[in-house]
């Protein structure tokens, strides 16, 4: 019996943790992608709110589909079989469950579409929200892990710094 199966049998919460880890991983991917797209749109100057909203929606949908297809293909390669219904449900949950990570940018852009905010303000607020989301996702990932206070600070600080690095790189590329 494989080590993984023995661990699952001995520790039934391993599967739950693995699914939670997969969801968090996909949220990080999607958040970084959303951050890069939003900063790029903001750096290009004036963009209509409807264009920004549709660009973000298409990008997010494409990334979610890519993640889902990658999970299915990885499963096929690793197990030489199609995923079971349960495994497929878990793949859908981990892929599309990440959508919540971009809820605020969608809300902000909808506010810009209806004229409550400017597109510039919506994109700026989205950038801030996504950097905060990266730290929150990181916290969700490490909150139950046995780390010292300083290890937590370093892990969360590194994630925030990487988010800011994405912003900086996009500004350099489009500045």
Q: pLDDT tens for residues 130-160?
A: 988 888 888 877 777 788 888 888 888 887 7
Containing domain of residue 64, as a range? Answer: 3-174
| Stretch 73-97: mean pLDDT | 89
Distance (Å, whole) CA 73 – CA 68: 9
Q: Is the pLDDT of residue 22 over 80?
A: no
Q: What is the pTM of this model?
A: 0.78
Residue 132's pLDDT is 87
Measured in degrees and rounded to the nearest 5, phi and psi for residue 147 equal -130, 155
Q: Is the pLDDT of residue 173 over 90?
A: no
Q: Is the pLDDT of residue 55 over 50?
A: yes
Q: How far out from the chain centre does Cα 147 lie?
A: 23
Cβ neighbors of 161 (< 8 A, separation 6 or more) are none
Distance (Å, whole) CA 43 – CA 126: 13
Categorize the per-residue pLDDT at 24 as very low, low, confident or very high, splitting at 50, 70 and 90: confident
Q: How far out from the chain centre does Cα 170 lie?
A: 18
Q: Is the pLDDT of residue 172 over 80?
A: no
Which of the pair, 118 or 146, is modelled with greater confidence? 118
Q: Indicate if the alpha-carbon torsion angle 27, 29, 35, 41 is positive or negative.
A: negative
Residue 76's pLDDT is 92
Residue 170's pLDDT is 67
Tell me if 32 sits within 8 A of 166, measured CB to CB: yes
Cβ neighbors of 174 (< 8 A, separation 6 or more) are 40, 43, 44
Residue 118's pLDDT is 95
- pLDDT digits over 86-107, tens only? 999 988 888 887 888 899 999 9
User: What's the structural domain count of the chain?
Assistant: 1
In three-state form (DSSP H/G/I as H, E/B as E, the rest C), the secondary structure along 149-166 is HHHHHHHHHHHHHHHHHH
Residue 11's pLDDT is 53
Distance (Å, whole) CA 86 – CA 79: 15
| Burial status of residue 48 (CB atoms within 10 A of its CB: 0-12, 13-18, 19 or more) | exposed
């Amino acid at each position: 019996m494989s080590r993984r199966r023995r661990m699952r049998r001995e520790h039934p919460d391993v599967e739950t943790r693995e699914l939670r880890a997969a969801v968090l991983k996909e949220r990080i991917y999607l958040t970084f992608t959303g951050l890069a797209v939003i900063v790029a749109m903001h750096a290009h100057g004036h963009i209509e709110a409807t264009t920004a909203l549709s660009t973000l929606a298409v990008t997010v949908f494409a990334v979610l589909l890519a993640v889902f297809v990658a999970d299915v293909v990885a499963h096929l390669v690793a197990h030489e079989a199609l995923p079971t219904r349960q495994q497929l449900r878990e793949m859908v949950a981990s892929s599309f469950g990440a959508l919540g990570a971009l809820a605020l940018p969608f809300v902000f852009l909808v506010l810009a579409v209806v004229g409550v905010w400017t597109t510039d303000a919506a994109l700026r607020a989205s950038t801030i929200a996504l950097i905060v989301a990266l730290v929150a996702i990181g916290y969700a990932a490490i909150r139950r892990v046995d780390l010292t206070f300083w290890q937590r600070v370093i892990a969360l600080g590194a994630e925030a710094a990487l988010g800011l690095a994405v912003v900086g790189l996009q500004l350099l590329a489009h500045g």
